[in-house]
Chains A and B, each alone.
Chain A
């Protein structure tokens, strides 16, 4: 697969009136291939949201280079039209669904993006219907967004992004405010977009079980890439995660603790069923 996102020594320095001047990203070199499903972890203030905003040009880096789909977006010759093309290709879903819905009817909200892109009317109709079907909200097309549940609102927000036909979607803690069912709905939607439609997914999250679900995990700390690997690789280094204030999923933590107690249990086991099986095996071995 070819590279969709590439960054080289990326740096970003906040210098607003509102914020203390600080180095949000100091040196990030990262490659994401087209169609990958990547979770991004890091404590608050580690720089992960800044990274997301740099990738669709909400922020412009203070140093380093970025390529999206082989084109350098940090090139001074990159025009404003090119910038809109990047924003269409790299969609973002934010934490609070109430801040992302603009219209009073669900289908109008989903149509908002493509309308702004100047997509022809019939094409918009088709895209809106398709997008609502993909997120499972087609029967709510004429409902008022403010009467939906959190998970439903978030799926409408995702439909609004899908209707612009992006090739990559960045979820910036998109499940943080949702109840368990809402989280499951949004995670299933991410899976579907990735596996069925080949959309590249970056999921920035504090939920370790969501990270365990991705193909790859990138841990950002102190404005740099701290770890990069498969969920099993990352979660088998629990001490390194604890050192930067992160944890592994509960099952993984349990097996790690018992491993430290001297029991023959695997490290980095991220699947709940596999954890249960390993625990049953060890219990039998020690009590037979």
Chain B
């Protein structure tokens, strides 16, 4: 079931001026409840516009956005409530930290939501744990943290709202492999513990393959392709034609298959291809072994 859905949505910047630019053109796409969906596309393909439409920062010029089956713009004056339900983490969220301590910063939205103090305290600790932010950092100034720690604090501020849908624009850009896996793995855990729905924008096809269930590929203001990770990454050539790519390991797997090695299963991560390769060898040997042994019974 789709928790969040765009129905025939179009968006145009500076409409009616010489700078008019179509950012989204009749886009219809759904995001399944409890899934992690990766949103990919070249720069300028419309990803950021789409993301800002999802939580009502932008209002579509045409079409509808449905959250749990209801039009988010049905009551425009209450759009702020939608923003608590659809949490958005923008690029470089660490630039938005401002409060005296990390704890206050993470709890900022919760205070605006007028939650009781105990609940705020509990949620702040919980959100910090999801993003692997050490609790001894909570009472420091956010400006005393390293870049990676600031990023985590900013993410925690949105996770603490426990939004039904969490939308993140390049949350792991500029982080090293461990930082990436802690943050993206933390999202996976968040999604599993709360049955949350996550939408992730990234240029790293490797991360997409590892952490997402489904992929939506955008091209020139339109949805180019949607499907499971497996379905989308099996179209290597089409993705390359629109300026995207598939993970290096998936390219290797495709070339092995083309050379006649029958790899099967999830071929988009190193461990997946390793298992498939070992299985292919074992099966090929099994097929041969009985005939060599000569005791094959039918």
Contact = CB atoms under 8 A, between A and B. Distances in A.
A116 interface: no
Contacts of B249: 250-251, 254
B277 A279 contact: yes
Contacts of A279: 252, 256, 261, 277
B245 A178 contact: no
B81 interface: no
A20 B243 contact: no
B280 interface: yes
Contacts of B261: 279-280, 283
B59 interface: no
A43 B277 contact: no
B211 interface: no
Contact of A181 (B42, B274, B277): B42
A28 to B, nearest CB: 19
Nearest to B140: A20
A83 B43 CA distance: 37
B179 A272 contact: no
A18 B143 contact: yes
A277 to B, nearest CB: 9
A179 interface: yes
B243 A206 contact: no
Nearest to A258: B274
B284 interface: yes
Nearest to A181: B243
Contacts of A209: 248
A145 interface: no
A177 B173 CA distance: 7
Given A176-B174, A283-B261, A257 B270 contact: yes
Contacts of B147: 44-45
A180 B203 contact: yes
Given A206-B176, A276-B259, A182 B244 contact: no
Nearest to A180: B245
Interface in B223-261: 243-245, 247-249, 251-252, 255-256, 259, 261
Interface string B164-177: 00000010011111
Interface string A188-212: 0000000000000000001001000
Interface in A254-280: 254, 257-258, 261, 272, 275-276, 279-280
Interface string A120-152: 000000000000000000000000000001110
Nearest to A209: B248
B195 interface: no
Contact of B247 (A42, A250, A276, A283): A250
Contacts of A286: 281, 284-285
Given A44-B148, A176-B174, A178-B203, A276 B274 contact: no
A275 B277 CA distance: 13
A245 B285 CA distance: 37
Contact of A276 (B42, B148, B243, B256): B256
Contact of B177 (A176, A179, A246): A246
B298 interface: no
| Interface size band for B | 35 or more
B205 interface: yes
B248 A250 contact: yes
A79 interface: no
A246 B176 contact: yes
A151 B243 CA distance: 11
Given A254-B273, A254-B274, A272-B248, A280 B256 contact: yes
B255 A276 contact: yes
A247 interface: yes
A202 to B, nearest CB: 17
A95 B174 CA distance: 8
Interface string B256-285: 100101000000001101100110110011
B22 interface: no
Contacts of A245: 176-178
B144 interface: yes
B144 A151 contact: no
B100 to A, nearest CB: 14
B44 interface: yes
A251 B252 contact: yes
B32 interface: no
Nearest to A173: B174
Given A258-B274, A276-B255, A276-B259, A180 B176 contact: no
A149 B179 CA distance: 27
B43 A149 contact: yes
16 contacts: A20-B144, A44-B146, A149-B44, A177-B173, A179-B42, A179-B43, A180-B203, A246-B176, A251-B248, A257-B270, A272-B252, A280-B261, A283-B280, A283-B284, A286-B281, A287-B285
Interface of A: 18-20, 42-45, 95-96, 149-151, 173, 176-183, 206, 209, 245-247, 249-251, 253-254, 257-258, 261, 272, 275-276, 279-280, 283, 286-287
Interface of B: 41-44, 91-92, 143-144, 146-148, 170, 173-179, 203, 205-206, 243-245, 247-249, 251-252, 255-256, 259, 261, 270-271, 273-274, 277-278, 280-281, 284-285, 288
Lowest 7 A-B CB distances belong to which pairs?
A181-B243, A287-B284, A250-B249, A180-B245, A43-B176, A245-B178, A149-B43
